[in-house]
Amino acid sequence: MLDHESGGLARHDHTPAYFSTAFGHRPRMLELVRGFVSDFCDRVMLGTARARQGSFRGSQLSMAAHELMENALVYGPEGSSSFSIAIDPDPEDPANRYLVCIRTRNRADPCQQATVRQRLHALSESEDPTAYYLGLMAASARRPEGSGLGLARVRVEAQMDLSCVVDGDELEVVARARIPRDPGGRG
């Protein structure tokens, strides 16, 4: 529901919000979508007045979107990538939490699919994802190409659960988080 006084979504609105786009090999798109995601999340979850200030959670979610889109852009053939973000009332507690879901989809060869699966498995099996992430950072300093940090960064810094789905030559990476509504009743 649109709040005409603030120009944003009404604070009592529990309807889903969704954005989706397809993109080719245009790195500029990463920064455009990152800024949009931050603003989109803040407007939906906080309301317009606070969105202008930018929130820490909006920044985390936009970083996650950036990392996932960058992976899809770098590893997917031109024109084969898509991105979406959905912010829904959490089905388990719609009055108090949101369920945020970020998805990227791109074509990927079997080697890339296996790499993503292995990294997600290692992250999920780790007793301490932060220690695992720090270990990856140390190891990435010696890599000649690609840091391999993106998925771990989404898991640790954005506090999102990650999964992937392989469908033929398509790879979909999904990041989810349950986010408390603003305790001040602003979302």
Domain segments of the chain as ranges: 2-180
Which residue has better confidence, 123 or 184?
A: 123
State the Cα torsion 166-168-169-171 to the nearest 10°.
-20
Question: What is the model's pTM?
Answer: 0.83
Top-level class of domain 2-180:
alpha beta
DSSP reduced 3-state for 91: coil
pLDDT digits (tens, 9 = 90+) for 1-58: 333 343 444 344 567 888 888 777 666 777 788 788 888 888 888 775 454 556 788 8
Q: DSSP secondary structure string, 18-74?
A: EEEEEE-S-THHHHHHHHHHHHHHHHHHH-HHHHTT--HHHHHHHHHHHHHHHHHHH
> What is the rounded distance in angstroms from the CA atom of residue 184 to the CA atom of residue 29?
34
pLDDT digits (tens, 9 = 90+) for 66-103: 999 888 888 777 667 889 999 999 999 998 999 999 99
> What is the rounded distance in angstroms from the CA atom of residue 75 to the CA atom of residue 72?
5
Contacts of 110 (CB under 8 A, 6+ apart): none
